[in-house]
A and B are shown apart, each in its own frame.
Chain A
Amino acid sequence: MKLGFSPADEAFRAECAAWLQAEMTGEFADIRGIPNLCDAIPRRKEWEQRLGEAGWGCIGWPRKWGGRDATIAQQVIFAEEYARAGAPNRINHIGVELAGPTILAFGSEEQKARYLPEIAAGRQIWCQGYSEPNAGSDLANVKTKARLEGGEWVVNGQKVWTSLAHYSDMIFVVARSEEGSAGPKGLSFLLMDMDQPGIEVRPIRQINGEAEFNETFLTDARCAADAMLGAAGEGWKVAMALLAFERGVSTLGQQMQFRNELDAVIDAARANGKAADPVIRQKIARAEIGLRLMRYGALRMLSGTDLAAIDGAALTYKIQWATWRRNLGELGMEVLGQAGEVASGDHYSWPTLPNLFLFSRSDTIYGGTNQIQRNLIAERGLGLPREPRGQA
């Protein structure tokens, strides 16, 4: 058991750190450290393409599709250095971390060739068509319908909480393709172009004033018959695999971002004297401990060979980080006091800590609420009996 990384990995760290530093202090200095996800979208698109050109867009993918065949350790290191350099949140997170790996796992060679190089190059932004007004936590309750018509899937329904749909080129849609089916059966996983008359996107303004996510209406929206991952009616399997990617390596990059956020709280406490308050000191110590334990928990999972144990630890990770970050948001406001409640400009827009306070209320909801996570941990991690369920 070792804490650190190998000399080869540290050399890789130096390489990517140097590149990221140069970009973030050079041509892309204007988008360094921006806290919000919807600011400077055109520049962020340029940044995605710069990452792609330099081969840093999707380093965990095979070289053949624009990746670097990076090991898990290298992916962790890149994620750390990415956040350390203050590089902005990836607007193509869904494409890089979710759509790409799912296409790699389930796509035909033709599908891989069609989508993967575009994502790797930073030219194709993806969004996620999972949730619906009545299918959030109960995802198997999807009502959006797909029917095959003249060599095309014709899709009707409504998706919601579609992050960055208004800036996306592609969406993957979980739709019910078998008439009369219920629950996880009869679903298909479709890859659709956003730029078509059948898709209408309406932004939803959220708690912090931003509009990062959307309602997405599908009215006779179309895609080719073969723009589907997995077999018709077996979309649930694909959808679940994708959620596993969501809980995998991609979450590790968050930790350096969390480090930056905790450092912002610490800096604020130093600046206004709260760093001397013993109660605040205890809370900052708890946050520091929690952050370190997330890091070593993640390294433990990713280093592990005992898959059963890793699965158990991995199940707990979402609720850990989400709860930690929500608490950090509250701590940030406690440190700032009333100063945190006044925006710096003349419109409803927030600097890092108040934005964290507001935004982090979503962390314990999206990707499976804390309550759903506890059910998963109890049923899959501890083998407890399922709660009796009603009919769909």
Chain B
Amino acid sequence: MEFAFTDEQAMIAETVRGFFAENATSERTRKAMAADGIDRELWSSFANELGLAGIGLPEEHGGAGLGMVEMALVAEAAGAQVAALPLLGHVMIGQAIARGGSEAQKAEWLPRLAAGELIATAAWAPKLSVADGRISGTFPFLPHGASADLLLVHSGSEAWIVDLKGAGVSVQAHVTMDQTRPFATATLDGAQGEQLADGDAAIAGALAAGWICLAAEALGGAQATLDRTVAYSKERVQFGRQIGSFQAYKHRLADMMIEIEQARSAVYWAACAVDEGSDEAQVALHSAKAFCADTYFMCAGNMIQLHGGIGFTWEHDAHLFFKRARSIQTLLGDGQWHREQVASAVLGAAA
């Protein structure tokens, strides 16, 4: 029974926690929010100094050769700081190519992704038409879409990557509630797509990575809201007592911890199941995405409530967590959809 981190995994977790805590500060995140939602200096040191952009990519193509558990540790640490990074699209396209690309496609794209040279995004449940490898369609809610170089789209069992700077592409940036991961809409009108060799494998790899990334971000974020609220509850004195000594307050914090401990199991279960190719992987992924998103939202909402008036201000970071949590709830399938996938696995398809 070894459902615990290896020494190497524990070391990675500690390193990335330290890195994000030190660098993805509120001040820098807010600066990125006022621009396109990407802290480029952070992205550059993330990719180049720490080599973390290649975490789930194979070593022969410039990656670190590690798996989804390690990728989850990175996303968890990034989520704890609501880091303004284009991590989601990056891991999705990276896994799509690593798992579904031809050797030539891997050799061409993976080293550049591992080096952080490209910013990527991915479309969820797209409607598109393809003629002679040229793709047309409208792709809304692309995370960091206005800043991205590459787009992953898929349909049925086919997947393509599209150069967003190429001909036949127009991109509309949106003002998004969560400014750390703003959306854009891309309109493709006969844009050149590069089809990945094994579409099924590419799509499965992208979705697994995307769901784990979001679940892990949610876990990190939820734990951060708890830690920050616990700290506040020990500082703030009302009625002559630290507010953390009031039972009504304690019980809400306890409820946060109870959910977070389950969310932690969910993330590592899903990541481990994907790495091991377990039969449980699909149920684990849907469970993790649905459960962790709800946990994060509950915790971030409690963070605002338990901070009182200050928690409602722009100045306080609570809203960064709250908006990220809300956004994770609907990204790549909402909770109802994911739970229905679990129900289908348990009960059979809906009538």
Question: Do A and B originate from a single complex?
Answer: yes
Binding site for B on A (CB under 8 A): 1-6, 9, 72-73, 76, 266, 269-270, 275-276, 278, 281-282, 284-286, 288-290, 292-294, 296-297, 299-300, 302-306, 312-313, 316, 319-320, 371, 373-375, 377-379, 381-388
Residue B350 is within 8 A (CB to CB) of chain A in the complex:
yes
CB distance from A351 to the nearest CB of B (A): 21
Tell me if A1 and B253 are in contact (CB < 8 A): no
Interface residues of B in 229-257 (CB under 8 A from A): 230, 233-234, 241-242, 244-247, 250-251, 253-255, 257
Q: For residue B242, which residue of chain A has the nearest CB? A: A385
CB distance from A167 to the nearest CB of B (A): 34
B350 surroundings in chain A (CB, below 8 A)? 276, 278, 281
Contacts A303-B2, A303-B4 known; 15 new A-B pairs at CB < 8 A: A1-B6, A2-B272, A3-B273, A4-B276, A278-B340, A281-B350, A282-B339, A284-B347, A293-B262, A297-B261, A312-B261, A316-B258, A373-B254, A374-B254, A387-B245
When chains A and B are docked, how far (Å) is the Cα of A112 from the Cα of B295?
46
Tell me if B264 and A300 are in contact (CB < 8 A): yes
**Other-chain residue from B4, B253, B262, B269 in contact with A384 (beta carbon distance below 8 A):** B253
CB distance from A308 to the nearest CB of B (A): 13
When chains A and B are docked, how far (Å) is the Cα of A305 from the Cα of B3?
10
Tell me if B276 and A374 are in contact (CB < 8 A): no
Tell me if A296 and B269 are in contact (CB < 8 A): yes
Tell me if A282 and B268 are in contact (CB < 8 A): no
A296 surroundings in chain B (CB, below 8 A)? 3, 265-266, 268-269
Q: For residue B338, which residue of chain A has the nearest CB? A: A285
B234 surroundings in chain A (CB, below 8 A)? 383-385
Residue B287 is within 8 A (CB to CB) of chain A in the complex:
yes
Binding site for A on B (CB under 8 A): 1-6, 9-10, 69, 226, 230, 233-234, 241-242, 244-247, 250-251, 253-255, 257-258, 261-262, 264-266, 268-269, 272-273, 276, 278, 280, 283-284, 287, 290-291, 336, 339-340, 342-343, 346-348, 350-351
**Other-chain residue from B262, B343, B351 in contact with A320 (beta carbon distance below 8 A):** B262
Tell me if B339 and A388 are in contact (CB < 8 A): no
Tell me if B257 and A382 are in contact (CB < 8 A): yes
Q: For residue A385, which residue of chain B has the nearest CB? A: B245
Tell me if A375 and B250 are in contact (CB < 8 A): yes
Q: For residue A262, which residue of chain B has the nearest CB? A: B346
When chains A and B are docked, how far (Å) is the Cα of A9 from the Cα of B253?
38
CB distance from A369 to the nearest CB of B (A): 12
CB distance from B311 to the nearest CB of A (A): 18
Tell me if A285 and B339 are in contact (CB < 8 A): yes
User: What 10 pairs across the A-B complex have the smallest Cβ distances?
Assistant: A378-B250, A285-B339, A276-B351, A385-B245, A374-B254, A281-B343, A377-B254, A73-B1, A285-B342, A296-B265
Tell me if A300 and B268 are in contact (CB < 8 A): yes
When chains A and B are docked, how far (Å) is the Cα of A302 from the Cα of B4?
9
Tell me if B244 and A384 are in contact (CB < 8 A): yes
Tell me if B245 and A384 are in contact (CB < 8 A): yes
**Other-chain residue from B265, B348, B351 in contact with A293 (beta carbon distance below 8 A):** B265
Q: For residue A276, which residue of chain B has the nearest CB? A: B351
What is the predominant secondary structure among interface residues of chain A facing chain B?
helix
Tell me if B245 and A371 are in contact (CB < 8 A): no
Tell me if A381 and B3 are in contact (CB < 8 A): no
Tell me if B245 and A377 are in contact (CB < 8 A): no
A378 surroundings in chain B (CB, below 8 A)? 244, 250-251, 253-254
CB distance from A282 to the nearest CB of B (A): 5
Tell me if B1 and A302 are in contact (CB < 8 A): yes
Tell me if B245 and A319 are in contact (CB < 8 A): no
When chains A and B are docked, how far (Å) is the Cα of A177 from the Cα of B254?
35
When chains A and B are docked, how far (Å) is the Cα of A6 from the Cα of B1?
7
**Other-chain residue from A276, A285, A290 in contact with B262 (beta carbon distance below 8 A):** A290
Q: Which of A2, A290, A383 has the most CB of B within 10 A?
A: A2
Tell me if A293 and B291 are in contact (CB < 8 A): yes
Tell me if A293 and B269 are in contact (CB < 8 A): yes
B254 surroundings in chain A (CB, below 8 A)? 316, 319, 373-375, 377-378, 381-382
Tell me if A293 and B266 are in contact (CB < 8 A): yes
When chains A and B are docked, how far (Å) is the Cα of A281 from the Cα of B344?
8
Q: For residue A304, which residue of chain B has the nearest CB? A: B4
A387 surroundings in chain B (CB, below 8 A)? 245-247, 250
Q: For residue A297, which residue of chain B has the nearest CB? A: B265
A320 surroundings in chain B (CB, below 8 A)? 258, 261-262
Tell me if B1 and A299 are in contact (CB < 8 A): yes
**Other-chain residue from A5, A270, A386 in contact with B1 (beta carbon distance below 8 A):** A5
Q: Which of A294, A297, A387 has the most CB of B within 10 A?
A: A297
Q: For residue B251, which residue of chain A has the nearest CB? A: A374
